[in-house]
């Protein structure tokens, strides 16, 4: 395991929750990231769903300290190359594209490719991936589906996202095969629009507290 993966994994063991930031404005993205950090979350995914997303990610990388910042919703190899050049420390995709995975592996950048079927998990396995995103987690079968996957993919770890919230975080994190959960529930658009960054810090604190009850002694 390389240095980045190891640091990332250690952070996720301490607080196994990855908040998503979707922003149009780098200044807003930086404030959101700092609010999440204040609440105890230090691994952050900036999703490529706005024109300014890469600028937002780069601003967080350059203007904050102590965070591990990745890019999410990375669909193409070109996007993967761009975000890594601009400072992404990990890459997340909704699905599994061999070229994206292979590029990230060639750069030693952790890649969390989305899977939701046994075939996709097995393809990821064949590419050498041992941690994948499970998306959309709730619709794709949630905890029972992950238990079924883990019975056959014994050394695969999963990051469920899509429909994860404070209401079901505990049940996902209670699974030994779940390395962390991701989601947008920690960064509600209405709180950001209202400049209510305390609300984001509180949501982060709540997630950290839930994680501690799910994994009191870590895994």
Compare residues 75 and 152 and give the one whose CB is closer to ligand 3PG: 75
Q: Among residues 103, 183, 200, 207, which is the contact residue for ligand 3PG, using CB under 6 A?
A: 183
- Count of residues in contact with ligand 3PG, rule CB under 6 A: 14
Compare residues 175 and 186 and give the one whose CB is closer to ligand 3PG: 186
163 binds ligand 3PG (CB under 6 A): yes
What is the Cα–Cα distance from 169 to 74, expressed in whole angstroms?
A: 24
Question: Which one from 45, 58, 202, 206 is the annotated catalytic residue?
Answer: 45
Q: Is there a catalytic annotation at residue 45? A: yes
Tell which positions 133-162 bind ligand 3PG, by CB under 6 A. Answer: 135, 161-162
**CB-CB contact of 18 with 186 (8 Å):** no
What is the Cα–Cα distance from 58 to 55, expressed in whole angstroms?
A: 5
Neighbours of 171 (CB within 10 A): 16
What is the Cα–Cα distance from 92 to 97, expressed in whole angstroms?
A: 11
Contacts of 1 (CB under 8 A, 6+ apart): 9
Contacts of 183 (CB under 8 A, 6+ apart): 17, 18, 19, 20, 161, 162, 163, 164, 165
Give me the long-range contacts of 64-67 (CB less than 8 A, separation at least 24): 64/30, 64/33, 64/34, 64/37, 66/37, 66/42, 67/33, 67/37, 67/42, 67/43
Using the rule CB under 6 A, give the single segment among 4-12, 81-89, 170-178, 180-188 that binds ligand 3PG: 180-188
CB of 92 to ligand 3PG, least distance (A): 7
Q: Among residues 39, 110, 142, 182, which is the contact residue for ligand 3PG, using CB under 6 A?
A: 182
Compare residues 63 and 188 and give the one whose CB is closer to ligand 3PG: 188
72 binds ligand 3PG (CB under 6 A): yes
Q: Is there a catalytic annotation at residue 133? A: yes
26 binds ligand 3PG (CB under 6 A): no
110 binds ligand 3PG (CB under 6 A): no
CB of 47 to ligand 3PG, least distance (A): 6
What would the two tokens of residue 203 be? 């949501």
- Reply yes or no: is the peptide bond before residue 147 cis, omega within 30 of 0: no
Compare residues 32 and 161 and give the one whose CB is closer to ligand 3PG: 161
Compare residues 145 and 217 and give the one whose CB is closer to ligand 3PG: 145
Buried b (16+ CB within 10 A) or exposed e, 192-210: beeeebebbbbbbebbbeb
- List the catalytic residues: 45, 133
Point out which residues bind ligand 3PG (CB under 6 A): 20, 47, 72-73, 94, 135, 161-164, 182-185
């Amino acid at each position: 395991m390389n240095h980045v993966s190891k640091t990332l994994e250690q952070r996720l063991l301490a607080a196994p929750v990855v908040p998503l930031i979707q922003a149009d404005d780098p200044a807003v993205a930086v404030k959101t990231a700092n609010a999440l950090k204040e609440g105890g979350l230090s691994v952050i995914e900036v999703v490529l769903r706005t024109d300014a997303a890469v600028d937002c990610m780069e601003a967080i990388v350059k203007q904050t300290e102590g965070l591990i910042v990745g890019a999410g919703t990375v669909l193409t190899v070109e996007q993967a190359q761009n975000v890594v050049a601009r400072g992404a420390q990990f890459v997340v995709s909704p699905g599994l594209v061999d070229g994206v995975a292979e590029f990230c592996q060639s750069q030693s950048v952790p890649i969390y490719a989305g899977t939701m079927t046994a075939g996709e998990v097995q393809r990821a396995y064949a590419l050498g991936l041992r941690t994948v995103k499970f998306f959309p987690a709730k619709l794709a079968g949630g905890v029972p589906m992950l238990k079924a996957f883990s019975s056959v993919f014994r050394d695969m770890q999963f990051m469920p996202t899509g429909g994860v919230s404070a209401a079901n975080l505990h049940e996902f994190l209670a699974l030994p095969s779940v390395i962390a959960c991701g989601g947008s529930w920690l960064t509600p658009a209405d709180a950001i629009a209202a400049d209510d960054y305390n609300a984001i810090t509180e949501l982060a604190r709540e997630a950290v507290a839930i994680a501690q009850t799910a994994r009191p002694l870590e895994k």
